[in-house]
Amino acid sequence: MTTNKIDLTAAEIGVLWTSYLYDSMTLQVIRFMKEKVEDSEVESVINEALMIAKNHVQKIESLFTEESIPIPHGFSEKDVEKSAPDLFTDTFKLTYLVHTGRVGMIIQTSNLAVSARKDIRDYFQSCLERVIKLYQLSTDVALQKGLYLRRPYIPYPKQVSYILNNDYLSGINPFKKHRMLNAIEITHLSLNIETNQVGVMLSSAFMQTAQSEDVKNFMKRGKDISKKHIDILSDTLLKDDVQAPISPNHAVTDATTPVFSDKLMMFHMSLLTGAGTGNYATAAGASQRTDLIANYERMSVEVAQFAKSGADIMIKYRWLEEPPAPPNREQLGNNK
């Protein structure tokens, strides 16, 4: 008896292709961290992340080979100089892995949700389980070391309340006192501060080690935008007497020797900006005060413009791989 082979859908090809680029890039970053880490507890988290990235790259290569789909170029050991001086402190390495686990859970959940074929669903389920384990492990180590950024605390509610009028939604009018932030809004403000703090550190590291002036200038702009957004979000919390999360010493070193290829660093920043835009959209949707929504919209536009300039640089240097797409029927009809 023969069985008809089920082809991958466009969604499955797309998320596997994107995952390969992401994991092959992450693999090179973590390999460098593995070479330089000194803290044994942080090293245990790095080893877990390294195993996950290797597994994902190998699995997708195998899937694409079976389906006769070209394997993306992605990133390789040619994109990292492991003998270069360390660029990150061990505290930043740990924070980076907490952030990687957090972002990974969102990505793998989304990948699983758009997949239909059973082997692909099984694969992304296993990916999700692995990144959950990474997040739990990295968070436990960060908590033990006093390096985990806890969200702000508020007093426990004493009763259930209902919104009685539209004043609850107001916030833009400067002549009218707005209501206090609620717990959901505080959560998103804090999370976006943390994400931008990671952005400041990475863009600083990439700026001081980039070889192209275009890339250096792009990273400086990214650092300035992240710092500006941190100020906006922190000021919003402080106006309601809520303490903004403060990063511990997650600094990068003063090394200027090139570590990663400019291509890898630009791709990494494109991922950060994509995640940032998604975070702002989620925060705007979850917030009920109009001034918060307006701030997230303005910041999203700024990030989108920044991302566009990054894509322009990657196209200029031929670093941007084109995602899989269906054939252009009009060109085929014209024998082109």
Report DSSP letters for 27-69, one per residue.
HHHHHHHHHH---HHHHHHHHHHHHHHHHHHHHHHHHHHHTT-
Local confidence band at 146 (pLDDT 50, 70, 90 cut-offs) = confident
Residue pair 252/92 in contact (Cβ under 8 Å)? The answer is: yes
Contact 189, 299 (CB under 8 A): no
**Mean pLDDT of the 228-235 span:** 96
The answer to whether residues 209 and 257 touch, using CB atoms and an 8 Å cutoff, is yes
CA atoms within 13 A on the CB side of 249: 4
Question: What torsion, rounded to 10 degrees, do the Cα atoms 73, 75, 79, 80 define?
Answer: -160
The CA-atom distances, in angstroms, between 17 and each of 20, 63, 168 are: 5, 11, 44
| Residue 140 to residue 249: CA distance in whole angstroms | 18
**Domains observed in the chain:** 10-144 (1.20.1260.10), 172-316 (1.20.1260.10)
Quick one: average pLDDT of 254-268?
A: 96
Average pLDDT over residues 258-279: 95
Query: pLDDT by residue (tens digit) across 108-136?
Result: 999 999 999 999 999 999 999 999 999 99
Confidence of residue 336 (pLDDT cuts 50, 70, 90): low
> With 80 as the cut, is the pLDDT of residue 333 above it?
no
Mean pLDDT across the chain: 92
Whether 215 has a pLDDT exceeding 70, the answer reads yes
Residue at 208: amino acid letter: Q
Sign of the four-CA dihedral 212, 230, 195, 309: negative
Give exposure, 308-326, as e/b (b: 16+ Cβ within 10 Å). eebeebbeeeebbeeeeee
pLDDT digits (tens, 9 = 90+) for 314-326: 999 999 999 998 8
What confidence category does residue 2 fall into, taking pLDDT thresholds of 50, 70 and 90? very low
Q: Is the pTM of this model over 0.75?
A: yes
For residue 227, what pLDDT is reported?
A: 95
- For residues 242 and 187, is the Cβ–Cβ distance under 8 A? no
Residue pLDDT, tens place only, 11-25: 999 999 999 999 999
CA distance 105 to 132: 6
Residue 327's pLDDT is what? 81
Report yes or no: 228 and 251 within 8 Å, Cβ to Cβ: no
3-state secondary structure of 325: coil
